Amino acid sequence: MLDQTQSDYALRVKGATKRFGNQLALDDVDFELRSGEVHCLAGENGSGKSTLIKLISGAYSADPGTRFDFGDGKGRDRMTPTEARELGVHVIWQDLSLFPDLTVAENICFEHFVADALKRYDRGASRALARTALDRLGVPLDVDTHVRDLSIAQRQIVAICRVLTGNPRIVFMDEPTASLTQAETDGLLVIVRKMSAQGISVVFVSHRLAEVLDISERVTVLKDGALVGCFPTEGMTQGELTRLMTGRLLETRVQDKSPQGDVVLRTQGLSRAGEFEDVSITIRKGEVLGLIGLLGAGRTELAQTLFGLSRPDAGRIEIGGESQHFRSNRDAIRKGIAYVSEDRLNLGLIQAQSITDNTAMTVLKSLLRFGFLLTEKAKRRLTQDWIDRLRTKAADIDLPVSALSGGNQQRVVLAKWLATSPDLLILDAPTVGVDVGARAGIFEIIHELAASGMAILLISDEASEVLYNAHRIALMKSGSITDYFDPAAITEKELEAIVNA
């Protein structure tokens, strides 16, 4: 029995260690992968997941003491990219590394263009090769479409097909579902199972614990560069996995009854053609209204209209009882509305600028001395204040925002908007790309803000997020609010089923 499992493994890594300067990024980690297994690599940001993948794929050279065994009887101390590729190790990074201006077929066959640069470009052959790969996954996709015209989910499939043409044995997928809707995620999981059935070992890196437990047979948990352990997923709960990753038990408790303060925001019959229709909502002081809906349900569009980025075709927006006609988001900001966009990386922050500059951006006018002089000191005082209040972890407030982890970047976005002291805070998918420990921290902040009297509109597509953090839940489907739920009267599973129905 033991012998049989031994001949079954695709990869065994022993004592994986990697040091950057005097920082130990990975400390004596063992990792085992069976052939055809779906395995999950879990851990918070900075726990060493990416470092481990890069050691295995040869992007980084492992420190002495590391052993790689691919079951071919040859032990290796370190990997090179070429060697990894020859052994069938492929990584699909989150950015997918596709070429938007090439067709699906050309993307899938790109490695051939590199290998046979001087050969004639045989359009027919590359289309046939691409079709074979797509057929293996059972996905119908037009091979002549440009990748720029595909959805993220379709691009993911193209990236997988490109890997399939290289005869893979081990495929790492970095956060493959971060930008997919539930239906698209389900489609991807079907594909992953197909790959596994064809004997390919798939290693999944994901922040979404529900899907981790659903798809994988075993999960290897890393924390602070060290191995916590490798566990079968059968019988494991999300709470337990969270505890393994973060080292603490995160409480999940439904909020108390809605506070009965003054109405901050009221909309009546708000509509915008093709985006949302007849939306009437109210949010009171100190209340968190959870707005749940799938990507494309119109939630972001609604938020943008509330924030003055687009104008409604019909209906009213009232702030504090007064009817509003926002001409731009500057009007909305003046009326005490703040909007934390779901696209933190591009819209929420200026990545190359410092934490200070990003934080001060919304309130530059109020920082001016004598009405025209902007001092560094004023900006720093403001930034330091918010760093302390939101418990942001930043080595230096002059660092560019891009140097921070997802959770801390999100705190900078929050700080930037909280500095405007808004009455209504719109949070659009505030935990995208934020790992599980940091999520809890962000929700802690949200609860504190609500307790201090701020009205909050929390937009999300994850049932657990709104269930445990909102006072009331509104369900949005194809542009309309179709139902309201009391978090105390519904379970996570029920809500999930309703959202995805």
Partner 1 sequence: MRRFLFTALQPMESKIALLLVAIMIGLSVATDTFLTMQNLFDLINNNSVNLIFALGLLVVLVFGGIDISFAVAASVVQYVVVLLLMQFGGGNWISGLVLSIGVGAALGGINAFFIHRFRIISIIITIATFNIFFGLLMYFSAGRSIYMLPEWLSARIILLRFDTAQGFATLYLPALVMALVALATWLLLHGSGLGRQIVGYGSNPEAARRSGVNVGLLHFLVYGWLGACAGIAGLMQVNIVQEVVPNALYGRELDVLAAVVLGGAMLGGGRGSVLGAVLGVILLAVVQNGLNLLGVSPYAYKAIVGMIILAAISTTNLFSAREVRRAGASPRGAAS
Tell me which residues touch partner 1 (CB under 8 A): 94-95, 97-102, 106, 110-121, 144, 148-149, 151-152, 175, 178-179, 295-296, 341-347, 406, 429, 432-433
Q: How far is the CB of 401 from partner 1 (least distance, A)?
A: 12
List all residues 6 or more positions away from 365 whose beta carbon is below 8 Å from its beta carbon. Answer: none
Q: Pick between residue 102 and residue 254 the one whose CB is nearest to partner 1.
A: 102
Q: How far is the CB of 429 from partner 1 (least distance, A)?
A: 7
Nearest to 67, CA basis, from 57, 79, 80, 58: 79
Integer Cα distance of 175 and 193 in angstroms: 16
Neighbour count for residue 470 (Cβ, 10 Å): 26
Q: Coil, helix or strand for 494?
A: helix
Q: How far is the CB of 268 from partner 1 (least distance, A)?
A: 27
Q: How far is the CB of 23 from partner 1 (least distance, A)?
A: 21
Q: Pick between residue 125 and residue 490 the one whose CB is nearest to partner 1.
A: 125
Integer Cα distance of 347 and 497 in angstroms: 31
List all residues 6 or more positions away from 489 whose beta carbon is below 8 Å from its beta carbon. Answer: none
Q: Pick between residue 60 and residue 485 the one whose CB is nearest to partner 1.
A: 60
Q: How far is the CB of 16 from partner 1 (least distance, A)?
A: 22
Q: Pick between residue 287 and residue 428 the one whose CB is nearest to partner 1.
A: 428
Integer Cα distance of 206 and 213 in angstroms: 10
Look-up of token digits 């996570």: 492
Tokens of 173: 């997928």
The terminus-to-terminus CA distance of the chain in angstroms comes to 44
Paired with 19 in beta bridges are: 24
Q: Pick between residue 450 and residue 463 the one whose CB is nearest to partner 1.
A: 463
Q: How far is the CB of 188 from partner 1 (least distance, A)?
A: 14
Burial level of 131, CB count in 10 A (0-12/13-18/19+)? middle
Burial level of 310, CB count in 10 A (0-12/13-18/19+)? middle
Q: How far is the CB of 265 from partner 1 (least distance, A)?
A: 24
Question: 265-276 b/e with 16+ CB inside 10 Å = b?
Answer: bbbeebbbeebb
Nearest to 401, CA basis, from 435, 431, 357, 339: 357
Tokens of 229: 């352990």
Q: How far is the CB of 346 from partner 1 (least distance, A)?
A: 5
Q: Pick between residue 148 and residue 391 the one whose CB is nearest to partner 1.
A: 148
Tokens of 141: 């996709």
- Whole-angstrom CA distances from 112 to 107, 121, 130, 312, 395 are 10, 10, 12, 50, 45
Q: Pick between residue 98 and residue 390 the one whose CB is nearest to partner 1.
A: 98
Tokens of 175: 């956060």
Q: How far is the CB of 479 from partner 1 (least distance, A)?
A: 14
Nearest to 458, CA basis, from 494, 421, 486, 430: 430
Q: How far is the CB of 344 from partner 1 (least distance, A)?
A: 6
25 and 51 Cβ atoms separated by less than 8 Å: yes
Q: How far is the CB of 409 from partner 1 (least distance, A)?
A: 9
Q: Pick between residue 364 and residue 399 the one whose CB is nearest to partner 1.
A: 399
Q: Pick between residue 17 and residue 460 the one whose CB is nearest to partner 1.
A: 460
Integer Cα distance of 375 and 345 in angstroms: 27
Tokens of 24: 């130990």
Paired with 42 in beta bridges are: 221
List all residues 6 or more positions away from 440 whose beta carbon is below 8 Å from its beta carbon. Answer: 246, 250
Q: Pick between residue 345 and residue 350 the one whose CB is nearest to partner 1.
A: 345
Q: Pick between residue 116 and residue 376 the one whose CB is nearest to partner 1.
A: 116
Q: How far is the CB of 266 from partner 1 (least distance, A)?
A: 28
Tokens of 481: 């609010």
